[in-house]
Amino acid sequence: MFAIVFLDNHHGVIAYEPLFRGSISGAAIYPRAVVRRAIEHNCSAVIFAHNHPSGDTEPSRADRDATTRLKAALDLVDVRVLDHFIIGKGTPLSFAEEGYL
């Protein structure tokens, strides 16, 4: 599951949406759909979250690449990516805290 929290300019929550569902090994994430929803919500920032069914919260190369692509697409419409959390067993991993953003 890949979900997005859409935030206003004071980082108040506008909406939460699970946007993409995947299989046990991955999910297709489309920047075009993310940008469209961000514009529809008229948001200023977003936070991404997705789960790893394995429980391991270490981001894969695909996780990092998808985040980079989404960030670049949202930059074009002045929407900031504040964080991306991977949820598994134990404490979620924060891309911002790990320096991936």
What is 76-101 written as a DSSP string? TTT-EEEEEEEE-SSSPEEHHHHT--
pLDDT at 53 over 90: no
pLDDT at 1 over 70: yes
Decide: 81 and 74 in contact? Cβ < 8 Å. yes
pLDDT at 64 over 90: yes
pLDDT greater at residue 26 or residue 66? 66
As given in the structure block, the two tokens for residue 1 are 């599951």
Q: What is the pTM of this model?
A: 0.90
